Chains A and B, each alone.
Chain A
Amino acid sequence: MSQLSKLLTKETVRLKQPISNWKEAIHLAGKLLVDSGDIDPRYIDEAIQVATDVGPYFVVRPSVAIAHGRPSPLVHRISLSMVTLNPAIEFGHEDNDPVSILFLLAAIDNYSHIDVLEDLARILSNDDLVSLLINIENPDELRDFFIHLNS
């Protein structure tokens, strides 16, 4: 989990956000990475464009979406943001809606973010951990969550 706890910091996480639709959600997740200097703002438009063109395939399991653009020079370094949504919102995925956790992944190529995905998989393959994450209210609880995972 070392990768995740390094990438998901106070700056790149917003918890229990009341947001009205999926585009706004991706926008907020993107703004966090822009403000951290991780991506160019145009990467946000690209992530929204991919989602609009291809559909909600990035809602990868019940309650969880991992939005992304293509690896590109718009990404300054591998980065990840997380916005938890309260109430959960519809992304248009018949089986996995509504979404409570949105990640935005920014990758520089097709392989160097694999360890981030492996860390994420450890959480996303476990329904109990996903429920815990959905209900986290503040950064201290998130820190405890990662400490618990790493122990």
Chain B
Amino acid sequence: MLRMNVESALQEMGVSDYEVEVSDMGSCRGKVKGVTAFLCSIVLAVNLEKQIEGAPVVGIKNFYNKVELKESLKPLVDNI
């Protein structure tokens, strides 16, 4: 459900070249290469940060709030 809302936020931001992949917590560690960022529920962010090196972890409070999603995605998009 987060993927769907992230894709729709990216489209509204005018970003067309993206790929959003779903992963479970345990598999993120092996997927850092080529990843811009890991997005997850705010309650998992601290835990995931401990496991991940080399890409930022962004915690999301409300998966359905386009304003929050766009604000969280903006620095990532600007950095590319």
Q: Which residues of A contact B (CB under 8 A)?
A: 54-62, 66, 92-96, 110, 114, 117-118, 120-121, 124-125
Contact = CB atoms under 8 A, between A and B. Distances in A.
A96 B64 CA distance: 12
Contacts, number: 52
Interface of B: 1-2, 4-5, 22, 25, 40-44, 47, 61-66
A57 B41 contact: yes
A60 B43 CA distance: 10
Contacts of A56: 41, 43
A110 B4 contact: no
B1 A57 contact: no
Contacts of A62: 62
Nearest to B41: A57
B61 A96 contact: yes
A121 B1 contact: yes
Contacts of A66: 1
